[in-house]
Structure formats: C-alpha cells, structure tokens
A and B are shown apart, each in its own frame.
Chain A
Amino acid sequence: AQSVSQHNHHVILSEAASLELGCNYSYGGTVNLFWYVQYPGQHLQLLLKYFSGDPLVKGIKGFEAEFIKSKFSFNLRKPSVQWSDTAEYFCAVKVHNTDKLIFGTGTRLQVFP
C-alpha cells in the first residue's frame, strides 16, 4: 500500500533559522506531491504542489520543495522562518491516474521570536 512518511514530528526553531522538513513516499509510479499547512484551529491550506517539470517548486510565503525521484522524497524548505510559520505541515501524495490522496502524519513546527 502507498504510504507517506514524515520523519520530523516536532520541530522547534528560532525566528530567522532555516527549515527543512522531510517527506518520503513509498509508491514507485508517477505521483503528484503536495505540502499543506494547518494553522492552529484552521483547516488545511495548500502551500505548494508538484506535478511535473522542474523538480524545485516554489509555493506561498517563501516556501519551496524539491522532488528527488531517486530518493522518493519531497522535502519542504524555507531559508528563514517567521513566528507566523508556527503550524502543522503535512505532505501528501496522489498516485497518478487515481483519486486516492494520502497524507503523512504531519510535522508540528514551533517558531519562537
């Protein structure tokens, strides 16, 4: 069965620190990849997505992610985090030509001023 792994469960950073959150998936075929963010008390919102083309994708709020096919990875990065980035971050995978959308367990990010 397809699965999505997020290795960092809880990350604590100071403002201006750099961020990288890991995401690996287990499906070997063509996939669509997503990162979603959930701010406290809110629903999920899309940060960025990868379907094809340039493996380095840029999203909102200065986030970016790199798809490395050989490593089955889609890691999320931000050069300098802000207090307002405090949230939970979810990686998700949709297997191409299916409608099944599977999420990872999430990474809780806390940013301190």
Chain B
Amino acid sequence: NAGVTQTPKFQVLKTGQSMTLQCAQDMNHNSMYWYRQDPGMGLRLIYYSASEGTTDKGEVPNGYNVSRLNRREFSLRLESAAPSQTSVYFCASSDTSSGNTEAFFGQGTRLTVV
C-alpha cells in the first residue's frame, strides 16, 4: 500500500521554465490537496479538489494550475516558475465523503527555482 506518491522528489528549475508535479493516491480518497511549506509559514493550501472534475483555490493559488485527472491523480503545474516558488510541495488526500477522516501526506517535492 503506497498511500500518496509524489514525483519528482527533487527538482531545480530556471526562472521561466514550466513543470508539472505529479501526485497519485491508492486509497480511493475523494479529496486531494496541494500545499507548499516554507520556513516560518507552515503549510499553505494552494489548491484542493473535492472530487473528480472539481478544483478550488486555496490560500495561495497565484502562479499555479491544477488538474484532477481522475480519482487517483492530482497534478500541480507551474507555467512560468519564479524564485518565489522555491519551496517544498506536499500533496495530500482524504476520504471526506465518508465523514471524518484525516489527510494523508506524500513525502514531498523539494523545488528550487534559480
């Protein structure tokens, strides 16, 4: 049981480059999330998806796009990377449709934009 899998684990981008962070979960959860973690700022919600085909903005959505490809996969895209997007990105999933369960997290993607 892999849980939540993120790829890649590490990435270095040049300013202006684009890339997609992949996330997949094998727990049949309906909700999926993307967070960024920065020192002193905790985890900030970028986007979330309550079900296939739906996405909603979180606290810091600017500069990002997401796709909920199917129930398992939720990708995060940076169209034109900026140094301010240097961060550790975490994907999470949760079975909110059944009521009260916690979110399970992936191992994170450490992204550096130079």
Contact = CB atoms under 8 A, between A and B. Distances in A.
Interface of A: 1, 6, 9, 32, 34, 42-46, 49, 51, 90, 92, 94, 99-106
A90 B108 CA distance: 16
B58 A104 contact: no
B62 interface: no
Contact of B105 (A9, A44, A99): A44
Consensus secondary structure, chain B interface: strand
Interface of B: 31, 33, 35, 40-45, 48-50, 56, 58-59, 90, 92, 94, 96, 99-100, 102-103, 105-108
Contacts of A106: 42-43
A105 B40 contact: yes
Given A34-B102, A101-B94, A9 B40 contact: yes
Given A43-B106, A44-B90, A103 B44 contact: yes
